[in-house]
Amino acid sequence: MDWSDNTVQSTFRDDVRDFITTRLPDRYQEDSGEGEDFSGGWQADRKSEDAKARGAAENWAGALSEKGWVAPAWPKEYGGAGLTVMEQFIFNQEMAESGAPSVGGMGVSMLGPTLIVHGSEEQKAEHLPRILNGEVAWAQGYSEPGAGSDLASLQTRAVRDGDEYVINGQKIWTSGAHFADWLFTLVRTNPDAPKHRGISFLMLDITSPGLTVRPIIDMGWNHPFNETFFEDVKVPVTNCIGEEDRGWYVGMTLLDFERSGISDAISYRRGQKELREFLISGAGKQFTRQDFSVVRKELADRAVETEVLFNFAFRIVSIQDSGMVPNYEASVNKMYSSELHQRMARTSTKAWGLYGNLWAEDSAYSPMNAAHVRDYVGSVPHTIFSGSSEIQRNVIATRGLGLPRG
């Protein structure tokens, strides 16, 4: 199919490119040369002890806010840009290709859309503006030690006490909680109901008494995840989104937003391009394994697979553009994308032979600052979080292929 921009889309793309070129802070420019670690992105920078990092986060949030692009997909009536689906895709593409960080994190991509669909007018008025102006960042509290892909088995308990809920329990894999100000979470409010019922969707201040966030350090010595413990944490009943005991359906609406995954295709294509350019450069040739033919075909396969993912992304955009909601198609995209990420990281590391195992970013012997071995380690959980590959295959089999549950 022809995915070329029409005249209106081309004009919008030029507008986005000009904006990024003129307003993106040096800290986020690919060629800034600062070499700083801002792995937490905008959310980390906004709470950094480094005044320069905080300034970059504030300036970028302010620039996006001026254009109404903090929340491109939100309706204008709620402070968003109200962009068409294709404009959103173009915006995401240009942001990814420039390396520009998004602003608002899970507040924009997950909680905001859920509030717009299910929240009361009071909840929208209180929380949406603070997401848009960068005042509040959000984290998600879903998974538990015994409830991950089978999320409906969650046991964190919220007991109604007058105008408050009292929460006790534990969440795990709470991404970005150490940067967040507020948390949205699923809790069990009716233990006697069937497991998909009796669940409520709550919002709470992450500094609430009794709430403890503990870091989980991954295999790459990074800190993307956390454990979150609730000990008699009190939350106002007014912080329940939707009906009490109906939070599962609110949560599933939120997950439908999360699984679109359009920007991955753009990032992978960009990563492939950077790898190829370095491989054929003078600096790259010194690291290339002698038996390069071993990975040459693999690199070609990864390039083809990246283009397949790009077309998956356009298919999802086309479905949305026609007024429908991606269902099993989003599961195809998520599964293919996460598994491709792992294949790309493995092939990229293999391209450098033994040099590909070096971990030190500042070593003269580490190709591309050890980016690929670190990506290899970091890619492991990608087929687990946001719905494991096994769960996605079940969705594809039942909803996409019409097969019976097995």
* pLDDT of 368 strictly over 90: yes
Active site residues: 258
In this structure, the number of other CB atoms found within 10 A of the CB of residue 240 comes to 24
Residue 218 pLDDT: 84
Residue 37 pLDDT: 36
Highest mean pLDDT among 163-172, 213-222, 251-260, 297-306: 163-172
pLDDT band at 246, cuts 50/70/90?
A: very high
3-class SS of residue 158: strand
pLDDT band at 260, cuts 50/70/90?
A: low
* pLDDT digit string, tens, across residues 379-406: 998 898 878 899 899 999 999 999 998 7
Q: Residue type at 187?
A: V
pLDDT band at 63, cuts 50/70/90?
A: very high
Residue 30 pLDDT: 59
**7-103 to CATH, choices 1.20.81, 2.30.170, 1.10.540, 3.40.50:** 1.10.540
* pLDDT digit string, tens, across residues 185-211: 999 999 999 989 999 999 999 999 999
Class of domain 259-400: mainly alpha
Class of domain 138-246: mainly beta
Residue 264 pLDDT: 83
* Average pLDDT over the chain, rounded to an integer: 89
The residues, any chain, with a CB within 8 Å of residue 231's CB and separated by 6 or more, are 168, 210, 211, 212
Report strand pairing: 182-188 vs 138-141.
parallel
State mean pLDDT over 302-318: 88
* Of 289 and 299, more confident: 299
* pLDDT digit string, tens, across residues 315-327: 888 888 787 878 8
Q: Domain extents for the chain?
A: 7-103, 138-246, 259-400
Residue 25 pLDDT: 94
* pLDDT digit string, tens, across residues 80-97: 998 888 888 889 889 888
Report the DSSP beta bridge partners of residue 188. 157, 199
Report strand pairing: 240-241 vs 182-188.
unpaired
The residues, any chain, with a CB within 8 Å of residue 85's CB and separated by 6 or more, are 317, 320, 321
* pLDDT digit string, tens, across residues 24-58: 999 988 544 333 333 468 888 988 899 999 999 99
3-class SS of residue 86: helix
The residues, any chain, with a CB within 8 Å of residue 8's CB and separated by 6 or more, are none
* pLDDT digit string, tens, across residues 335-345: 999 999 999 99
3-class SS of residue 277: helix
Report the DSSP beta bridge partners of residue 230. 169, 211
pTM of the model: 0.84
Q: Are 158 and 120 in contact (CB under 8 A)?
A: no
State mean pLDDT over 345-364: 92
State mean pLDDT over 155-175: 96
The tokens for 279 are 């491989």
Residue 31 pLDDT: 42
Give percent above pLDDT 90 in the chain.
57
pLDDT band at 287, cuts 50/70/90?
A: confident
* pLDDT of 258 strictly over 60: no
* pLDDT of 259 strictly over 70: no
* pLDDT digit string, tens, across residues 125-144: 999 999 998 899 999 999 99
3-class SS of residue 213: strand
